[in-house]
Amino acid sequence: MMRDVLGLKKSEKTPIYLRLLDLISFIYTRSGVNYPQMRSILALKMTMDGRKDSALPGFESGRRSDEEKNQFFSSLWVYTLISLFLLFLFAYDNWVFQYTTYFSFLFIMTFSTLLANFSNILLDTKDAILIGTKPVDRKTLGAAKATHVGIYLLSFTLAIGLPVILFTFYFNGIVAGILVFLLSLLASLWCLGLTLFVYATILKQFDGERLKNIIAYSQISLSVFMVLGYYLVGQIFQVIDPETLLVEMNLSVAHVLLFPMWFVAPFGMLQEGVTATYLAYTALLLAGTVFLALLFNWNTDKIESNLQKMDSSSTKRTKRSAIERTAAKLFCLDPLEKAYFHFGWQITKTEREFKTRLYPSIASALVFPIVMTYTTLTSGEPGVAQSPVTFLYLPYFTMLLIPVLAVSIQFSKNYKGNWVFNLTPNDSKAPFMRAVAKAMLIKILVPLYTVVAILVLYFTGFSYSLQLINGLLLTSVILYVEMKRSVTALPFSRKYSASEANMGCMGTLIFFIPVFVISVIMIVSQLFVPFAEWAILLILLGLNGWWMTKGFTRKTK
């Protein structure tokens, strides 16, 4: 009798997601998918997601447990806790306003998670190599991959929407509660369908290294579109009476492109009655859903076939840029640390998984301060100069990228090469950590911070240059602290797992509170305490000098 090597029969209890899929198995069958095969592949994928790879000796990634535990599902409660802030919407008696805000938030969170954390699963070519050689057609393989990601997205969506869904049942009735529940699930599937549509279009036209670059740029474009779309949705509504929380909606023809409004139209008809605008938006929602479903059914097998283009290009040797060489000479005095610096710089330059995880967050961190600046300028009264305080906080948004960055550098597609580090002495591991931290600081955080700081200087003048320099030095210190706290294994030594997909996103949300407190303290103290900016400059210079020469020494054993 064959042994159950993978432990799939360890528990006789069928997971709830498989039981739910069994109820809708007829949809897969009618679409031409071999459902029993797809179910087996999916069960295997989910089982492997619950098993974390062991880290290097002395760099354990967490406590070992005999019980398989999926880290993704066990951390969803954090998103539910954060979504409690959306409950303020029920203070308004306008359903359209309530659910426009809710669905805009839901789309931007789900899209960000999908682009940053699951793109490498959707674009993975290993399934076709390992499973494609067996009697499994590409449509079944593509359906298994999409369902794999869909389970995580649906769980993520329900975690975010749970407070709003429950309060909708209480305040707005059973019909509205059922509707918001179903439309929330549909919104999650829309995010998956739109992402697959973009990837399918790109995969059809391009191949090789050019394809990888275009996909990375498309993720940046989608992230920018999400931030701008969220801003435009906010422009539809205007608070007329703050005391009674009366809200007026100003719809125009251009707003038909904001598809979150399509999900809100049914609620408008429930509260205000049937109108031509709500009927048109509801028709667009139904038509778009049918279109995405047909598109997915037609292109599932083609996407899997075209994915093989990802590996068709030959790897080119990349040259070191002048910035890389200069930064290595200035910040890395030790030859060993300098070599590690070049290694960290180059591997993040060629790692597609690193780019797909980080690029959307970089785009959001850059566009959001620009949108906030435009909002600040347009919301003030004409002829009244804006206070510098309204701009000085913008560069601190760069710090929100640090948790995602600290998580991203832990993973690599070439993680199996981490055995090389076992051959190095323990005293070489601290220089490796310092070198990678410096490379990420100079390559990613400094350029991003500089762009936002130039924008701030344009509106505030050069008299606040010292405060902005202190902000950059503080960003460097926080990068060290976050890497010291969260990087539990050597950089680029872990395999990416879907169960850990929300690590960076969750860290960003939690990170928002200390960043807000620190930025307020920094700005207020430097504005009102004499010579505070010079004292802070000396302290931060000392802290940066210390971690760049002796940091991470306690990580080695």
Chain Cα centroid distance, residue 9 = 34
Distance CA(427)–CA(39), nearest Å, equals 48
DSSP annotation string for 479-512: HHHHHHHH--S-TT-B---GGGTTHHHHHHHHHH
What residue type is assigned to position 267 of the chain? F
Q: Write down the number of H helices and E strands in the chain.
A: 23, 2
The angle formed by the CA atoms of residues 6, 11 and 16, to the nearest 5 degrees, is 105
What residue type is assigned to position 44 of the chain? L
393 to each of 111, 238, 523, how far by Cα in Å?
26, 25, 7
- Is 0.75 topped by the overall pTM? no
Distance CA(67)–CA(55), nearest Å, equals 18
Chain Cα centroid distance, residue 460 = 32
By the 8 A CB rule, do 211 and 311 touch?
no
Q: Which of 476, 486, 329 is nearest to 409 (CA)?
A: 486
Can you give the pLDDT at residue 174?
Answer: 92
Predicted confidence (pLDDT) per residue in 496-519, tens digit: 766 565 565 666 667 777 878 888
Q: Which of 184, 189, 214 is nearest to 200 (CA)?
A: 214
What residue type is assigned to position 31 of the chain? S
Neighbours of 83 (CB within 10 A): 20
Alpha helices, DSSP H, located in 172-275: 174-205, 208-234, 260-272
Can you give the pLDDT at residue 63?
Answer: 44
Can you give the pLDDT at residue 178?
Answer: 93
Neighbours of 215 (CB within 10 A): 22
Alpha helices, DSSP H, located in 441-492: 446-460, 465-486
What residue type is assigned to position 538 of the chain? L
Low-confidence residues in the chain, pLDDT < 70: 1-12, 51-70, 116, 132, 207-213, 215-216, 218-219, 222-223, 226-255, 301, 304, 308-318, 372-389, 418, 422-427, 497-509, 554-557
Q: Residue 378: enclosing H or E segment and its boundaries?
A: helix 352-379
DSSP annotation string for 53-68: PP--TT---S---SS-
Can you give the pLDDT at residue 384?
Answer: 39
Chain Cα centroid distance, residue 415 = 22
Distance CA(267)–CA(502), nearest Å, equals 31
By the 8 A CB rule, do 114 and 191 touch?
yes
- Going by C-beta distance under 8 Å and a sequence separation of 6 or more, which residues neighbour residue 60? 54, 488, 489
119 to each of 146, 149, 356, 411, how far by Cα in Å?
11, 9, 6, 14
DSSP class of residue 31? T
